[in-house]
């Protein structure tokens, strides 16, 4: 057999094509875990006891039976007449009634545009995931100043 007969090239272009398609496929289907954060500003020391005028705030209390108590505090007198200061959302079969909470928060923000502070007051047995979800819903409704209240 002569040298000329042995000297042939393998066509690598289709191989390269398949490889590149595979790499693209793997890159696009890879799970990219991206962490982001929900930011809170907590009261430190005796900040919460200062005698200054507090801004209107919404307290969201998670009760042990899964119900949610919403309380409006430090509202101007003119606004107090327009809205109910206390309301309770009973739990559903699946736990917290997220739809009702969402619509309630949306209504409150519509009626009280100056409401920008929300405090979440969970119970000892409340799930952390539920607390985060409530803070997320508050932020979605432009209640940006969200804080967590300690137990007790």
- Tokens standing for 69? 């108590």
* SS3 state of residue 67: coil
| Residue closest to 60 by CA, chosen among 52, 51, 68, 49 | 68
**Stretch near another protein under the rule CB under 8 A, chosen from 9-17, 63-71, 79-87, 96-104:** 9-17
Is residue 45 close enough to count as binding another protein by CB under 8 A? yes
Among residue numbers 126 through 145, which ones bind another protein (CB under 8 A)?
Answer: 126-129, 131-133, 135-136, 139-140
The whole-angstrom separation of Cα 73 and Cα 54 is 9
Least distance to another protein, CB of residue 84, Å: 26
Closer residue to another protein, CB minimum distance, 75 or 105: 105
Among residue numbers 50 through 79, which ones bind another protein (CB under 8 A)?
Answer: none
Among residue numbers 23 through 42, which ones bind another protein (CB under 8 A)?
Answer: 23-24, 27-28, 32-42
- Are 88 and 67 contacting, i.e. CB atoms less than 8 angstroms apart? yes
Q: Which of 13, 53, 65, 77 binds another protein (CB under 8 A)?
A: 13
CA 46, 49, 51, 54 torsion: positive or negative?
A: positive
Neighbours of 86 (CB within 10 A): 9
Least distance to another protein, CB of residue 56, Å: 20
Q: Phi/psi class of residue 74: alpha, beta or left (left: φ > 0; alpha: ψ in -120 to 50)? A: left
Is residue 148 close enough to count as binding another protein by CB under 8 A? yes
DSSP 92: B
Is residue 91 close enough to count as binding another protein by CB under 8 A? no
Binding site for another protein (CB under 8 A): 4-5, 7-9, 12-13, 16-17, 19-20, 23-24, 27-28, 32-45, 122-129, 131-133, 135-136, 139-140, 148, 150-151
């Amino acid at each position: 057999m002569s040298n000329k007969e042995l000297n042939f090239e393998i066509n690598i272009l289709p191989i390269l094509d398949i490889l590149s398609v595979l790499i693209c496929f793997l890159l696009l289907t890879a799970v990219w875990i991206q962490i982001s954060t929900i930011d809170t500003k907590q009261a430190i020391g005796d900040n919460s006891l200062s005698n200054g005028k507090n801004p209107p705030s919404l307290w969201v209390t998670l009760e042990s039976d899964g119900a949610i108590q919403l309380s409006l505090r430090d509202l101007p007198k003119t606004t107090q007449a327009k809205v109910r200061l206390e309301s309770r959302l009973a739990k559903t079969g699946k736990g917290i009634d997220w739809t009702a909470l969402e619509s309630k928060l949306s209504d409150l923000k519509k009626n009280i545009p100056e409401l920008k502070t929300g405090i979440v007051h969970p119970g000892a047995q409340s799930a952390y995931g539920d607390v985060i979800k409530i803070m997320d819903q508050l932020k979605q409704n432009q209640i940006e100043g969200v804080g967590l209240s300690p137990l007790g």
